[in-house]
């Protein structure tokens, strides 16, 4: 891979607020190092804008390690960009070529209202979690390791679902703006652990109802969510969510 800087053309979504009309703003950068992360490239762009006394571009970020889920960007029409199972903060400019044009947009979903530029309000996920994505029963002190036998298959499934970082790529990539993969992962994670058993039915009903209340669309099995998920959550989480919900309401 060459260390020579690249020229990159950007089309970046700008929008001052939820009540204003947005537009694409064009920028050309001639000093993009291929080893920069995507967010470092945006940092450089903002430095240049501020040097020109222009308003920098608002975008979300925090850990920049693919853990927190804050780096929610649609890059060339794909949630988090072109690299499979990679959050936008872990995407590097070497995935693009000299002279490329890159279009950058925010998540677009009714349940994720616009704040500014590339930043949307994802607090709907927080409210889904607050509806039941936790264990509130008294569990006492932390037990010794292996004190509660859990089959390896169950433990592995719980851990797989627990890797969800709540970024919202599943919503942004779904034609229906469904949050079923996120909600399914959070319900299924605890359904496979003994600590989640006492509130299992209550949790499934409360979280699914809150998901619908927030205005997310229904799942139509397009599987775009699984393809866009930066940690590779399987759509089996959605099937498990539906099973948990039906068992809860019919029992």
Q: Is residue 126 a part of any domain in this protein?
A: yes
| Contact predicate 9/100, CB 8 Å | yes
Interatomic CA distance for residues 186 and 193, integer angstroms: 12
Q: State whether 135 and 217 are in the same domain.
A: yes
Q: What is the pLDDT of residues 52-64, one digit of tens each?
A: 999 999 999 999 9
The pLDDT score that the predictor gives to residue 147 is 78
pTM of the predicted protein model: 0.94
Tell me how many domains the chain contains: 2
Domain that holds residue 156: 122-250
How does pLDDT run across 29-46, given as a tens digit for each residue? 999 999 999 999 999 999
Give yes or no: residues 95 and 183 share one domain. Answer: no
User: What is each CA distance from 30 to 104, 158, 176, 178, 241, in whole angstroms?
Assistant: 18, 46, 38, 39, 48
**Residue 213 banded pLDDT, cuts 50, 70, 90:** very high
pLDDT tens-digit series, residues 2-33: 679 999 999 999 999 999 999 999 999 999 99
Shared domain check, 220 and 134: yes
Same domain, residue pair 245 and 206: yes
**100 and 20 housed in the same domain:** yes
Do residues 71 and 153 share a domain? no
CATH code of the domain containing 216: 1.10.1060.10
Residue 114 lies in a domain: no
Say whether both 166 and 84 belong to one domain: no
- Do 11 and 87 lie in one domain? The reply is yes
3-state percent breakdown (helix, strand, coil) of the chain, nearest 5: 40, 15, 45
pLDDT of residue 149: 86
């Amino acid at each position: 891979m060459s260390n020579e800087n690249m020229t990159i053309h950007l089309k970046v979504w700008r929008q001052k607020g939820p009540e204003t009309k947005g537009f694409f703003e064009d920028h050309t950068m001639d000093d993009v190092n291929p080893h920069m992360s995507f967010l470092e490239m945006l940092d450089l762009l903002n430095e240049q804008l501020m040097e020109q006394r222009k308003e920098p571009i608002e975008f979300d970020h925090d850990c920049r390690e693919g853990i927190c889920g804050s780096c929610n960007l649609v890059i060339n029409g794909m949630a988090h960009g072109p690299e499979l199972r990679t959050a936008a903060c872990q995407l590097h400019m070497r995935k693009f070529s000299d002279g490329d044009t890159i279009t950058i947009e925010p998540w677009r979903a009714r349940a994720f209202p616009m704040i500014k530029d590339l930043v949307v309000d994802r607090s709907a996920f927080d409210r889904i979690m607050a509806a039941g994505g936790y264990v509130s029963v008294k569990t006492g002190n932390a037990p010794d390791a292996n004190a509660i036998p859990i089959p390896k298959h169950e433990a592995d499934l719980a851990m797989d679902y627990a890797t969800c970082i709540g970024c919202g790529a599943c919503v942004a990539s779904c034609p229906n703006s469904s949050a079923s993969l996120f909600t399914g992962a959070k319900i299924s994670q605890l359904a496979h652990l003994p600590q989640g058993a006492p509130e299992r039915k209550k949790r499934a009903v409360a979280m699914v109802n809150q998901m619908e209340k927030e205005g997310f669309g229904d799942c139509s099995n397009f599987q775009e969510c699984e393809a866009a998920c930066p940690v590779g959550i399987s759509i089996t989480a959605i099937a498990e969510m539906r099973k948990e919900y039906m068992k809860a309401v019919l029992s």
